[in-house]
Amino acid sequence: MLQNYLKIGFRNLAKNKLFSLINISGMAISIASFLVIALFVYDELQFDKHVQDVNRKYRVYNEHFTDDGRVMRGAMIPPPIGPTLMDEYPEVEAYARFMNFNSPVLFEAGDLKYTEDKGGCADPAMLDMFSLKLIEGDMETALHDVKEIAISQTLAKKYFGDKPAVGETLQVFNENYKVTAVFEDFPEHSHLQLNYFLSMQELLTTIPERMRGWGWSQFHTYIKLKEGTNAVQFDAKLKDFAARNAWPTTKDHGSYYIPHIMPMSQVHLHASDQKWDIAVRGNAQTIYILSATAVFILIIAILNFINLSTARAVNRVKEVGVRKVVGAFRSQLIYQFISESVVIAGIALLIGGLMTELVLPALNNFTGKSIPTGIFLNPLLVIVLLVATALVGVAAGAYPAFYISGYKPAQILSNKKSGRSGKTVLRKSLVVLQFILSFLLIIASFVVSEQHTYMRTKDMGFDKDNVIIVSLRGNMQTNLEAAKNVFANHPNILGATLQYGLPGEAFAGDGIRDRVTKKDLSLSMLLVDHDYIKTLGLTLVAGRDFSKDFPSDADDAFIVSEAAAKMLGHTNPKDALEHEVEWNRWDNPDSLKKGKIIGVVKDFHLNSLRESISPVVLHIYPKGYSSMAFGIRSEDIPATLAHLEATWKKFNTEWPFEYHFLDENFDKLYKDEEKLATLFTFFTSFAIFVACLGLFGLVVYSTSQRYKEISIRKVLGADDANLVFGLSKSYLLLIVIAFVIAIPVSYYAAEQWLQKFPYRIEVTYLLFVKAALLIMAISLLTVGIQSFKAARTNPVNALKEQ
């Protein structure tokens, strides 16, 4: 019986080639889109699933509150929090801290010299916290003493080849460190990707007081809770923990924080609002949006199938009548039509699977992932796909099957098909639903794309283009000003500055003390020289810039941003001039740098537009400088780089020449939005194509049913334009109805998504007009071509048909 059903199904596919092509291609594209998105989403959900006891491991972050009402979350916290939680709460089984080095470090082993990043100081428990497998060394003894280092398998191979690395020596910071462990490289789906750990004992020995301080937020800290611990109840205890331990140090000075815990498995997708993070970040909203897109595309394809099948039902009613007369049961007819639907879904699955295989390499290249191809070689995945395909086939074919099989033989054979007008209403409703979904996707695509463009192009308050950053290394620091002048001695270099703290990079968060109110203010701090403001193109709104004509500027002058001036109580920037502030010097914590504000700069963004503008203070402090920045001409950049490299080699032969452009920092910050915008536009285009494919099929069918009507109208004098309009207007009306229904839904969804951005586009009527015009144009083209073709048909051919 099944073989017979399949045989009839294939014959019907071959008999109705156009409709078969429309159904199969629409379903194949939808399945391919669904598969690609599903594989991407599945990959994103795998982060940290490999970690043993991951359901008991958490990252601690701080929620910071300031007197001026600002609230922000920080991924880095003070060093005492981990060990103190272990001491005070029996629920904590273990803790591990990691302090990241924010710049590359020179490694030496024999004649080999390379700069390495992705490393820092770590507690021994860090190895177990991330379930790192040791290739060499002992988990019980690694990283327990000063001058010890654990390195990845890649670094071990790089510096020591095939011989054992444990027991060997690596020179780091010009000091010898003993290799005590070699661990397998962090798995791809780990939210941390690190290459080496120096022992935390180094910091505990050299700066013990600072390691006990509750105000130095520089550590990523993880804890493991004991079996059976209620994480929500434990988190609720942390406010009291902070009040007892940290607030006496921080709250009286204008700010305080409350620690919270986040499951390790959620860090990749749900920590995007935490500042100063080094995790490999995804975005939960991206997952939600793409998942909804995949479902929408699949629903549109199913609706296409239902529409076309019910529309074509009239062509098969005689078949149904004859089969019922000769004894066929309705259930047999239903099985027949559903099996045909499953056949179409199966063929679409094969084509969609091949399309997925072709698309995956490009997706991996674009997203930086390694999603494996060969989906049909995975037995479990094949089973899931076959079951899913059968379900899709049944879902798509069930209604047409019940609809077609419901005709009565007498009604069919007497050529009376009354009572089916309600099916036309349903078919039109399905078309409306298709275009509602398409409209939602288009609006979402426009909003995501325009928000991304807005973030990339909005004035950040400084010049980020054509600025090159070079780190200070070796003997460059002997005479900083002389080194800067030598590098800047080239006609293509327009400006140069020394500093610690550039937009998009690490900067200090010490803050300053207001000498009037005696309160500490939580600010972003930039350590700069006399040329910083000019080189980066900051705008002075009050006072003056640092100047070598005022030698005392190095010792007692500060410049603040407008937001910082407001924190000091000055709405008018000019009123902030001469305001006295002070700062705890890094070189001598017991010594204060006291001075006055000499200038106020216009607010500018240190981070991406996902974050509100931070209040900023700038002052001259050569001991903190870490890099040079050069404003360059946009012409002949290779010659400029050649000059910088040649100058670099004169100063330092140990470190390789490395540089980057300032705008690259922001390219990285907006990478998630760029990926989402591109992927969303890509899949939305598929959704629109599938919807219009179905619309095309309906128009082909409806015009084929009205050829005689069209011919009679032409004979009576109707011109082509009137005929095209007559054939198109009903579909255009359906599209208008879809617009009206979709506008409030899409507006609400867009506003909700944009709420997470402090700086965002306005959702104006133009967005909806553009979306409406786009769908209208595509639909008119789809309907118009076929309608025009029908209108141009020779009426004689249609009227002589019986």
Q: Which CA distances in Å does 182 have to 92, 143, 145, 195, 232?
A: 28, 11, 16, 10, 36
Most confident of 1-10, 110-119, 248-257, 723-732: 110-119
Dihedral over Cα of 356, 359, 365, 367: its sign: negative
- 694, 695, 697, 699 alpha-carbon torsion, rounded to 10°: 170
Angle between helices 330-367 and 2-15 (to 10 degrees): 70
Q: Is 32 helix (H, G, I), strand (E, B) or coil?
A: helix
pLDDT of res. 496: 95
Asked if residue 468 lies in contact with residue 640, where contact means CB atoms within 8 angstroms, the answer is: yes
Per-residue H/E/C for 305-328: HHHHHHHHHHHHHHHHHHHHHCCC
Nearest to 254 by CA among 567, 575, 600: 567
Q: Which amino acid, one-letter code, is at 154?
A: T
Q: Which CA distances in Å does 634 have to 333, 466, 492, 719?
A: 72, 6, 8, 60
Bridge partners of residue 198, in order along the sequence: 121, 149
Element (H, E) at 298: helix 284-311
Confidence label for 323 from pLDDT (cuts 50, 70 and 90): low
Residues above pLDDT 70, as percent of the chain: 84
Asked if residue 404 lies in contact with residue 317, where contact means CB atoms within 8 angstroms, the answer is: yes
Bridge partners of residue 519, in order along the sequence: 514
Q: What is the mean pLDDT of residues 177-206?
A: 95
Dihedral over Cα of 290, 291, 295, 301: its sign: positive
Q: Which residue has the tokens 């537009």?
A: 609
Q: Which residue has the tokens 């207007």?
A: 729
C-alpha–C-alpha distance, residues 584 and 573, integer Å: 25
Model pTM? Answer: 0.83
Element (H, E) at 224: strand 220-225
Q: Which CA distances in Å does 219 have to 97, 121, 151, 408?
A: 6, 9, 20, 76
pLDDT of res. 707: 57
Per-residue pLDDT tens digits for 26-61:
888 888 888 999 999 999 999 999 999 999 999 999
Confidence label for 631 from pLDDT (cuts 50, 70 and 90): very high
What are the structure tokens assigned to 282, written together?
A: 């995804």
Element (H, E) at 542: strand 540-543
Answer yes or no: is pLDDT of 715 > 80.
no
DSSP states along 147-193: TEEEEEHHHHHHHHTTS--TT-EEEETTEEEEEEEEEPPPPTT-S--
C-alpha–C-alpha distance, residues 66 and 255, integer Å: 4
Residue-level length of the chain: 802
Answer yes or no: is pLDDT of 138 > 70.
yes
Asked if residue 542 lies in contact with residue 599, where contact means CB atoms within 8 angstroms, the answer is: yes
pLDDT of res. 526: 94
Helix, strand, coil percentages for the chain (3-state, nearest 5)? 55, 20, 30
Q: Is 546 helix (H, G, I), strand (E, B) or coil?
A: coil
Query: Where is average pLDDT lowest: 212-226, 475-489, 523-537, 772-786?
Result: 772-786
Burial level of 163, CB count in 10 A (0-12/13-18/19+)? exposed
C-alpha–C-alpha distance, residues 798 and 305, integer Å: 28
Q: Which residue has the tokens 């397998």?
A: 184
Nearest to 349 by CA among 395, 382, 300: 382
C-alpha–C-alpha distance, residues 673 and 452, integer Å: 6
For Cα atoms 439, 443, 448, give the angle at the middle one, nearest 5 degrees: 150
C-alpha–C-alpha distance, residues 350 and 375, integer Å: 11
Confidence label for 518 from pLDDT (cuts 50, 70 and 90): confident
